[in-house]
Amino acid sequence: MGEDQFHIEYDNSNRLDFAFGFGLIGDDVEAKLYNLLKTYDSNYYLYSVAEENFDKAFLEVVREESYNLQLIINASFYLNICLRMVNTLDEIMTKIMVYSHLYFNNTTDKVLTKNDNKYKNYYDINIVHDSVSYPDRGTRKNRKTRSIRNDITHDGESLIINNPVKEGSGIYSFVTLDGLKIRNIELYIKIINEISEDIRVLKQDRKDLEAIILKDKHFVKRP
């Protein structure tokens, strides 16, 4: 798991907060970038824990001979956390790219717009066409799970399939308990494969972004 995290430290004895062992504190771009790197690493750890727990819960569903609603609820719970953590990692990654760009261009974050889309807007205006090749920010076009994440958050979609089963627009059917078990397993496999693809992309994006950040001598990879 460690190879999929930044594990970047800051080395600058000219900063008093660093010299006294406090890490980087304050509202300057340098400190915010450093703390975002730490935040990404912490949240990637949380994702890994959720994924591990889902794997265990999924196997319990598969191995149970009959339909067991409690096991399905457990698996759906951890799968939902995995989905939300992918979204969280995407958001943190975009912020890291923004603050990296601000830092390397000696710009304060006062240039960010005062709205909920300030990081997206800054990326689309300033980073997309930069001479330095930053990773693409996460969008519906390059994230497999973006649609299901949106459906769960805004449209009330569930990760648990119950009767009646929706087969299409306005079309429903009733299936046996064994059928419900199979439908839920199929849903889990589809979503966890999409999550795995998004995480694969995030892993590569993290490596590419790390290479950019480490060009500054004050940011150092921890062994």
User: pLDDT digits over 205-221, tens only?
Assistant: 999 999 999 999 989 99
Confidence band, pLDDT 50/70/90 cuts, at residue 186? very high
For 76-125, write each residue's pLDDT tens digit: 999 999 999 999 999 999 999 999 999 999 999 999 988 889 999 999 99
Q: How many CB atoms lie within 10 A of CB 190?
A: 12
CA-only gyration radius of the chain, Å: 21
Predicted confidence (pLDDT) at residue 20 exceeds the cutoff of 70: no
What pLDDT, on the 0 to 100 scale, is given for residue 81?
A: 94
What pLDDT, on the 0 to 100 scale, is given for residue 158?
A: 78
What pLDDT, on the 0 to 100 scale, is given for residue 1?
A: 65
Q: With beta carbons less than 8 A apart as the criterion, state whether 185 and 119 touch.
A: no
Give, in order, the Cα–Cα distances in Å from 137 to each of 4, 91, 177, 196, 202.
18, 9, 41, 17, 10
What's the number of domains the chain is made of? 1
* Higher-scoring residue by pLDDT: 100, 2: 100
What pLDDT, on the 0 to 100 scale, is given for residue 168?
A: 80
Confidence band, pLDDT 50/70/90 cuts, at residue 68? very high
Q: What is the pTM of this model?
A: 0.90
Q: With beta carbons less than 8 A apart as the criterion, state whether 68 and 61 touch.
A: yes
From the centroid of its chain, how far is CA 127? 20
Parallel, antiparallel or unpaired: strands 171-173 and 165-168: antiparallel
Its sign, for the CA torsion 185, 193, 76, 54, is positive
For 113-147, write each residue's pLDDT tens digit: 888 899 999 999 999 999 999 999 999 999 999 98
Angle at 19 between CA 15 and CA 22, to 5 degrees: 95
What pLDDT, on the 0 to 100 scale, is given for residue 114?
A: 84
Domain that holds residue 74: 2-221
For 147-175, write each residue's pLDDT tens digit: 888 777 655 567 899 998 888 888 999 99
* HSE-up of residue 120 (Cα within 13 Å, Cβ side): 7
- Token readout for 67 is 């339909």
Confidence band, pLDDT 50/70/90 cuts, at residue 17? low
